[in-house]
Chains A and B, each alone.
Chain A
């Protein structure tokens, strides 16, 4: 008689035929691990039954490392050795995180390459810190699955650049994990909802976390998920709702607003009340102001909603921008998916529904949905089921070149599907110019100083020609991993130069969001500055032309003409030192008018010389 086979709890029914694979959501505030168990994507829990692992690592003396809840609890008392939000540092250089440094209590080590943190256990890179989080999740998976996973899919924000993706891959390797694929978070959420199995369509993924907001528009067609557009606000999240409520409570209570203990108490109570009001219509908040008796404050859902309404509304501009970037109307959206714990708040759901004019998908726990999507994709990639999906990524920020006057000429706009190649022609500014400096920039603003410099290189050996005659073709090629190669070529002679750069290397999420936000708010200001800059370029060109002409052919002028030209020339130089667009333009025009006789005579004399040359040749024949 054959023995009956009984599968161990938590294991797949056919352990020898199924390959083990896991999906990990490596988040800014917390992380999760999931796997497909008996055909159901399941988030795995720790010994206490908790599925969220706070993304916090604490280094203790003697080589001990705490990860998760115990580390998070110690953040206040041991800030230098307790690393939270390490995701914001991934793939970032020391200079890049200076803006963040004011908000982070860490001891950053100056130096080249990726930023490093000084802890009691020595210098740690963000990759190492992330690896500690991944190790804990891996152990949890090994215990639950009863074996080593063959591979893992880790999710990253859609706008993560190559450096950030590479850092994430490195952390996984350090934790002993085999990365099958990095998957964009919104795509993972869409996969979790089985949108890839269903009909074709366009989906909006609305992801409101604790401290960040992301909106992504995806299109599914023929088994290809395309990210059509992403936008967001890296300083908007559920925490802002807590703060809004806490401010209101403190105003009502009086008390010392600068007392950190009091602030923390109110904030904690505000968060608890907000969470409670997702399920009930009214709740009591217990507060104990220092030196006073504890008492209760009644809070209705309606009151909470009026307090947090301004916070929720702040997500709408990004939604509109994403739609416009994708070239879509609201009616084109076939479904809306909610991701992130803050989307549990009923007022958020109501606003999303009102904006997109359809009921959002909320069946899956918004904290778990990304990890579940990653698990499904991992399961497919190790060969357990269905055909592989293809994800088409887009450029997170526009790429361009510096042109005269400190202006940026965009070559590839953001949200363009990659791989992509684009070319643009430029020309020389001065007579006889033999070299051209190529400055590659990233960002949405019009001026070089407001964008991020990615690389500088020179094209040399351009044959001397008159200004404007050379044809310099600059080609940008971005491959599927987001790596950029720039090539410059003088098309007449084939002189060329090239460089490989990493777009947005060293940019953090805040900077990406801020740069997008700035381009939005400074549009009008940029137009005025652009006009000024263009007037300056034209003015400089006229001044240069006048200088060249006078140096070569001053003898063609009589004294009065020479005086007039010197006068308007001086006026132009004077105008160029100021910053009045109209004055510069008028001065340049005055020079051009005054120089007309000179230009005419130079042409005549050049013509005569040419004819004279011809006649000498003829004589020689």
Chain B
């Protein structure tokens, strides 16, 4: 189905936000996925640079600054589109949140509170990593933290590669495996944040 402009009836492109023919900002479409709002195909293996370029190009036309003197309805549509574009960029550019979003789209809540982390191997790895970080913090060992950070970084790249495989075809046919990978990625992501904070506070002392 092709959308048409609510004002002049011309065909709209993707996303159906601005009419190329008469320039009218279209009523916001809450039913569109984050991918559709950004005018991109739904896929996990996403070029983040291309996503950013695309979203910013759309923001240039849809940002409320462009409708400062427009009618209230147009200002509201612009706000809604612009808000949703910021959300799309924030979620889709992050490999963790992007995977979570895709799984949620097929009804899988892999990071929800109800999910029990049952993988004993992951629990062991978590404990070992945390103990290492605690020791490094106690020793104010900045170069050791850097080594750990690179290790975690590499591990994350590995998990993202695995997710690319698991989420290669959508909907995902192995949601349990994807969910487990997602939880592993979430743990590594949190650990990376902690390493960053530890490095910062060790430097600032």
Q: What is the interface of chain A, defined by CB distance below 8 A to chain B?
A: 221-224, 226, 316-317, 320-321, 324, 390-392, 416-421, 477, 479-481, 523
Chain A CB within 8 A of B114 CB: no
Cα(A518)–Cα(B150), bound, Å: 30
Report the nearest A residue to B49, measured CB to CB.
A221
Measured between C-beta atoms, what is the minimum distance from A133 to chain B in Å? 26
* Contact A392-B203, Cβ < 8 Å, known A221-B53, A421-B83, A421-B87: no
Whether the pair B53, A222 counts as a contact (CB closer than 8 A) is yes
* Contact A420-B87, Cβ < 8 Å, known A221-B52, A221-B56, A224-B56: yes
Whether the pair A480, B64 counts as a contact (CB closer than 8 A) is yes
Cα(A226)–Cα(B201), bound, Å: 27
Whether the pair A390, B86 counts as a contact (CB closer than 8 A) is no
Q: Which residues of A contact B200 (CB under 8 A)?
A: 317, 320-321, 324
Whether the pair B86, A418 counts as a contact (CB closer than 8 A) is yes
Q: Which residues of A contact B98 (CB under 8 A)?
A: none
Whether the pair A222, B203 counts as a contact (CB closer than 8 A) is no
Chain A CB within 8 A of B26 CB: no
* Contact A480-B57, Cβ < 8 Å, known A320-B203, A390-B63, A420-B87: no
Query: What 0/1 readout, one digit per residue, does chain B (67-96) give for beta carbons within 8 Å of chain A?
Result: 000000000000100110011011000000
Q: Which residues of A contact B52 (CB under 8 A)?
A: 221
Report the nearest B residue to A181, measured CB to CB.
B65
Measured between C-beta atoms, what is the minimum distance from B50 to chain A in Å? 11
- Report, nearest first, the 7 A-B pairs whose CB atoms are least far apart: A480-B64, A419-B83, A224-B56, A222-B56, A317-B204, A421-B83, A417-B86
Chain A CB within 8 A of B60 CB: yes
Q: Which residues of B contact A221 (CB under 8 A)?
A: 52-53, 56
Bin the interface of chain B by size: 20 to 34
Report the nearest B residue to A390, measured CB to CB.
B60
Cα(A416)–Cα(B200), bound, Å: 21
Q: What is the interface of chain B, defined by CB distance below 8 A to chain A?
A: 52-53, 56-57, 59-60, 63-66, 79, 82-83, 86-87, 89-90, 196-197, 200-201, 203-204
Whether the pair B60, A224 counts as a contact (CB closer than 8 A) is yes
Whether the pair A480, B65 counts as a contact (CB closer than 8 A) is yes
* Contact A392-B196, Cβ < 8 Å, known A320-B204, A480-B64: no
Q: Which residues of A contact B79 (CB under 8 A)?
A: 419, 479-480
Cα(A115)–Cα(B97), bound, Å: 45
Q: Could you give 8 example pairs across A and B, Cβ below 8 Å?
A: A221-B53, A221-B56, A224-B59, A390-B63, A392-B63, A419-B82, A480-B63, A523-B201
Cα(A418)–Cα(B203), bound, Å: 31
Measured between C-beta atoms, what is the minimum distance from B83 to chain A in Å? 4
Q: Which residues of B contact A523 (CB under 8 A)?
A: 201
Q: Which residues of B contact A419 (CB under 8 A)?
A: 64, 79, 82-83, 86
Q: Which residues of A contact B89 (CB under 8 A)?
A: 417
Q: Which residues of B contact A321 (CB under 8 A)?
A: 200
Measured between C-beta atoms, what is the minimum distance from A92 to chain B in Å? 25
Measured between C-beta atoms, what is the minimum distance from A153 to chain B in Å? 13
Cα(A391)–Cα(B82), bound, Å: 13
Q: Which residues of A contact B60 (CB under 8 A)?
A: 222-224, 390
Measured between C-beta atoms, what is the minimum distance from A219 to chain B in Å? 9
Cα(A222)–Cα(B52), bound, Å: 9
Question: 7 additional contacts, CB 8 Å, given A224-B60, A480-B63?
Answer: A222-B57, A223-B56, A324-B196, A419-B83, A479-B64, A480-B64, A480-B79
Whether the pair A480, B82 counts as a contact (CB closer than 8 A) is yes
